[in-house]
Amino acid sequence: MEEWALCAVLGIGSIQDIKKRQVGWPVILAGLAGAFVFWFRGPAGAGAEEFFLGLIPGAGLAGLAVFSRQAVGFGDALMVAVMGLYTGIRQVWAELMTAGILALAAALILLVIFKKGKKYELPFLPFLLAAHLIMLCI
């Protein structure tokens, strides 16, 4: 059930990211609240240490957002942190790498075939959603 709740949060966030190139706080807060509810509710297996270790990739991405002057969006970093709370550190790393590969492929297609410039902003949350769905199918 947690996986589908995360899909819903990522789906709503993806729509916002595509339309506005930002993720709203209500979506991020709903994702955080859901993660804590699932964690407190019972025996999904992970203790506090594993639960909070899932925040590390999101924190790293937040640092990258600050140093890159938002070339990587802060909302994307917060959503990766939310994903880490739901899935744990190993799965979120795998999903982040998968999303990066998907985004790279899309960027190459946009550059080569559609002649978009290097400054074209590509929303990242849809790739995180796609990566999560791929991992659910594996």
Q: 104-114, pLDDT tens digit by residue?
A: 999 999 999 99
Q: Are 102 and 131 in contact (CB under 8 A)?
A: yes
Structural Rg of the chain based on CA atoms: 15
Looking at residue 72, its pLDDT comes to 86
Looking at residue 11, its pLDDT comes to 97
- Position 39 pLDDT exceeds 90: no
**pTM, 2 dp:** 0.91
> How many angstroms separate the CA atoms of 29 and 25, rounded?
6
- Position 119 pLDDT exceeds 90: no
> How many angstroms separate the CA atoms of 42 and 80, rounded?
23
Three-state DSSP at 125 gives helix
Helix boundaries (H) for 42-124: 48-53, 56-67, 74-87, 89-112
